[in-house]
Amino acid sequence: SIPAHALFVTEENKERKDDKSASDRQRRAEALRRVELFAPLEEDELARLADALHAAPFTKGEVLTRQGAEAHWLYLVISGEVAVRVAKDGIDTEVARLGPGSFFGEMSLMTGEPRSATVAALADVQCYRLDATAFRDLLARRPQLAEPIARLLAERRANLAAVTEGLDAEAKRRRMESDSSDLFKKMKAFFKL
């Protein structure tokens, strides 16, 4: 027997397109509100930022970004969970898991270095990506976001170093302190804050 196919066609008129982009926009703005980093932003700033986001869905097991790669994006995790893994002696070691409301990829965008770790999807993951220019523009407009990012970045770097260089807790703490102020100075100079 021949299977029956039904084809449903919805006309894409302008009104419908506007509706769609308005609801997409709203969804993006709501997602941003769940990212603690962006808590200081006003509604209009969130809306502007929402416009610059690109939806990036990944399926379980997919690699979102690879250690050593050149960086172009900051990632916001909206749903699902990712694992951050660093290669040491040819073996990948998990250093962290990140879930909804977290972000990653800030290191390369802030320092210009290649990706410090591989990030892979542990489940189906919904992300938004923000390109490097939009991220830098945001920091230039909102310098107060730079400090919490620098602090988190230093903490993450120290955790990475704990694995790759075998730092103990005290060495890790010292590394984080020196890194943190150093990074913040570099960022201030880089972004002319």
Applying CB under 6 A, which residues contact ligand CMP? 65, 71, 84, 95-96, 104-108, 115-117, 119, 156, 159-160
116 or 180: CB nearest ligand CMP: 116
Strand, coil or helix: 136? helix
Residues 6+ apart with CB under 8 A from 25: 47, 50, 51
28 or 156: CB nearest ligand CMP: 156
Strand, coil or helix: 109? helix
18 or 177: CB nearest ligand CMP: 177
Minimum distance from residue 115 beta carbon to ligand CMP (Å)? 4
Q: Which long-range contacts (CB under 8 A, 24 or more apart) does 95-99 make?
A: 95/159, 95/160, 95/163, 96/156, 96/159, 97/122
Minimum distance from residue 102 beta carbon to ligand CMP (Å)? 8
Minimum distance from residue 45 beta carbon to ligand CMP (Å)? 22
63 or 193: CB nearest ligand CMP: 63
41 or 176: CB nearest ligand CMP: 176
Minimum distance from residue 108 beta carbon to ligand CMP (Å)? 3
47 or 145: CB nearest ligand CMP: 145
Minimum distance from residue 172 beta carbon to ligand CMP (Å)? 11
Looking at the chain, how many residues does it have?
A: 193
What Cα–Cα distance (Å) separates residue 136 from each residue in 1, 75, 98, 140, 189? 60, 14, 23, 6, 13
Minimum distance from residue 133 beta carbon to ligand CMP (Å)? 15
How far is the C-alpha of 65 from the C-alpha of 115, rounded, in Å?
A: 8
What Cα–Cα distance (Å) separates residue 92 from each residue in 5, 15, 67, 115? 48, 50, 10, 14
